Amino acid sequence: MSPAAFPYWRLSAYYFFYFGCAGVLATYLSLYLQSLAFSATEIAVLMSLMQVMRLLAPNLWGWLAERLGMRIPIIRLSALASLAGFSLFFVTIRFEGLFIAMALMAFFWSAALPLVESVTFNHLGTQVHFYGRIRVWGSIGFIVTVLGIGHALDFMPIDALLWMTVVVLLGIIVCAFILPDAGRPEPQQAVGGLWATITQPRVRALLGACFFMSAAHGALYFFFPIYLVSHGYGKSMVGWMWTLGVLAEIAVFLLMPRLSRCWSLRTLLIVAFMAASVRFVAIGWGIDNLAILVGAQILHGLTFGAYHAAAIALINQWFEGRLQSRGQALYGSISFGAGGMLGGLLSGLIWDVVGPAWTFTIASGFACLGLLWLLLGWRNE
């Protein structure tokens, strides 16, 4: 199979804008909230709504898509409703109003990705190694938006971020309406039910480890931009730091077919967790050393790129047939949802108490817990 055999560019365009939006929210939204004089705890609560909804919404939408067979209509509804929810940012700066805006946007925005992942893998069939070539466009979208907006915000007021986000959300809407569905797996492909799959030791080990990996990234996604700016780095430098990490992520995505032939997915996950343990300590204590920060951001290629590509490939293998949408939703809920919520909220609660360096050290501890959980729960096969 070649990229011409499936809708490569339409799938890639959706990932481009979806993760471009993720880049805007992860990199600059906390700075906008800080400009409104919210405390670290209030910022963490608002930012954590993305993770809370990733915990709740994907399972609901995945179940609905499975029952009704309406993945593409739900993806399109998600795109439209996400923009509608975000539009409330233009009418209020109060905590309560922004809480509602974030909750509404996140509830619909988080519905789409597990369904798109399922559609993508259905298009790919047995040629799952092409996934990295599609997903890499999400990383490119992240880079383009983060760099472009970072440089723009050096010359524009921070509230210009709202209009820039609207442009990216409109891109998601356009791509959602040109995204084609794929043939559904035959019912007999599914072996056992959802519960029978979840209770397998290797599946429990993977999902538990993913929970801890996302918890480890909580401080990074919620407070890394604030940490950089507080130490004298400009907003454009914030964009370049994120870009460096995503460039490393892109390199890993492109190398995944070769890496997965040389090492097992389990081995790649172990390496990713070890890298995360080092990375977050380095960020916490090396914030004033540019060389250390550069090295830490390069490790993003392992702590997200290799980790996510390996985890999502395993989910695709283990949740068979019509369970694929539910499996992708469960992965997103447990990792980015529950894990990200725990890591982000805890970071907000302790940021002003123990300080940023120790907050990132605790994040490293979460990565160590994930490594231990993986090694004990999934013995080498």
SS3 labels along 354-376 = HCHHHHHHHHHHHHHHHHHHHHH
Q: What pLDDT, on the 0 to 100 scale, is given for residue 190?
A: 46
Q: Report the phi/psi class of residue 146: left, alpha or beta, with left for phi > 0 and alpha for psi in -120 to 50.
A: alpha
- Which among 14, 37, 31, 8 is positioned nearest to 239, based on CA atoms? 31
Q: What pLDDT, on the 0 to 100 scale, is given for residue 356?
A: 94
Q: What pLDDT, on the 0 to 100 scale, is given for residue 17?
A: 96
Amino acid identity at 6 = F
Q: What pLDDT, on the 0 to 100 scale, is given for residue 101?
A: 94
Contacts of residue 9, defined as CB under 8 A and 6 or more positions apart, other chains included, come to: none
CA distance 79 to 173: 5
Q: Which residue's structure tokens are 């050290």?
A: 361
Q: What pLDDT, on the 0 to 100 scale, is given for residue 29?
A: 92
Q: What pLDDT, on the 0 to 100 scale, is given for residue 366?
A: 97
Burial bucket for residue 36 (CB in 10 Å: 0-12, 13-18, 19+): middle
Q: What pLDDT, on the 0 to 100 scale, is given for residue 199?
A: 84
Q: Report the phi/psi class of residue 320: left, alpha or beta, with left for phi > 0 and alpha for psi in -120 to 50.
A: beta
CA distance 83 to 80: 5
Q: What pLDDT, on the 0 to 100 scale, is given for residue 344?
A: 87
Q: What pLDDT, on the 0 to 100 scale, is given for residue 186?
A: 52
CA distances from 326 to 195, 203, 278 (A): 11, 14, 33
CA distance 165 to 173: 13
For the chain of 381 residues, list the mean pLDDT of each consecutive stretch of 10.
Answer: 68 94 89 91 89 79 75 91 95 94 90 83 73 84 90 90 95 93 57 76 94 94 90 88 89 85 92 97 96 95 92 86 74 84 90 94 97 90 57
Give me the domains of the chain, ranges plus CATH numbers: 8-377 (1.20.1250.20)
Q: What pLDDT, on the 0 to 100 scale, is given for residue 373?
A: 96
